[in-house]
């Protein structure tokens, strides 16, 4: 029972104190699960993160699903997802109740204009960490850059970019193994 409380509390803290969405939570989930609690090996976390990114739905929920399931199957999945989702649910509920009164408040406008640049930086961290773990090989950087260019510059659907990047990774891996 203690483990489930620790799992819930770990994901609850991450969900409660992270602004900016799921990608901002990834470094915190990694630090908590891999480094602090040592519940997940680094390689397993990287694999779960790749699955979570390619699965439909929010990345934070998907990551909680994979981590919880790996640790304690269905019960772990329910506990971890509940922990990460509950703070957002309560926050959205409170915002919905008070939104009209704060919508055009200059103080809140200034707060959010200050938070936005920090969120962008926090989203970049997992990308850089994944590239580091991939060894900064030319092929990995090329796939990442081509994917970003396709989505941002060419306005190609991320679904097609993910499929294409998977094929490119397969071809690159086959080519690299033969050499």
pLDDT digits (tens, 9 = 90+) for 105-116: 888 878 878 877
pLDDT above 80: residue 67: yes
Q: What is the pLDDT of residue 15?
A: 87
Average pLDDT over residues 53-82: 90
Q: Mean pLDDT of all residues in the chain?
A: 82
CA–CA separation, 84 and 25 (whole Å): 10
Which helix or strand (DSSP H or E) is residue 20 part of? none
CA–CA separation, 96 and 74 (whole Å): 31
Q: How confident is the model at residue 9 (pLDDT cuts 50, 70, 90)?
A: very high
CA–CA separation, 42 and 31 (whole Å): 10
Q: How confident is the model at residue 177 (pLDDT cuts 50, 70, 90)?
A: low
Helices (H), the chain: 2-16, 22-30, 42-54, 59-102, 106-133, 138-148, 158-178
Q: What is the pLDDT of residue 74?
A: 94
Tokens for 154, please give them.
Answer: 């060419």
pLDDT above 90: residue 26: no
Burial class (CB in 10 A: 0-12, 13-18, 19+), 11: buried
Burial class (CB in 10 A: 0-12, 13-18, 19+), 16: middle
Q: What is the pLDDT of residue 133?
A: 67
pTM above 0.85, yes or no: no
For the stretch 143-173, pLDDT in tens is: 777 888 888 888 888 888 888 877 877 887 7
């Amino acid at each position: 029972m203690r483990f489930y409380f620790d799992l819930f509390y770990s994901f609850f803290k991450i969900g409660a104190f992270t602004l900016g969405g799921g990608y901002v939570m990834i470094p915190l989930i990694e630090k908590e699960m891999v480094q602090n609690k040592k519940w997940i090996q680094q390689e397993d976390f990287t694999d779960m993160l790749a699955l979570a990114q390619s699965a439909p739905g929010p990345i934070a929920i998907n990551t909680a699903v994979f981590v919880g399931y790996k640790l304690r199957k269905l019960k772990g999945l329910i506990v971890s997802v509940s922990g990460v989702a509950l703070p957002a649910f309560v926050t959205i509920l409170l915002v919905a109740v008070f939104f009209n009164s704060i919508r055009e408040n200059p103080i809140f406008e200034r707060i959010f204009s200050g938070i936005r640049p920090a969120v962008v930086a926090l989203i970049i961290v997992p990308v850089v960490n994944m590239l580091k773990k991939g060894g900064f090989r030319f092929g990995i950087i090329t796939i990442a850059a081509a994917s970003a260019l396709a989505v941002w510059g060419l306005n190609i659907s991320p679904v097609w970019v993910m499929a294409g990047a998977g094929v490119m990774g397969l071809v690159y891996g086959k080519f690299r193994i033969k050499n």
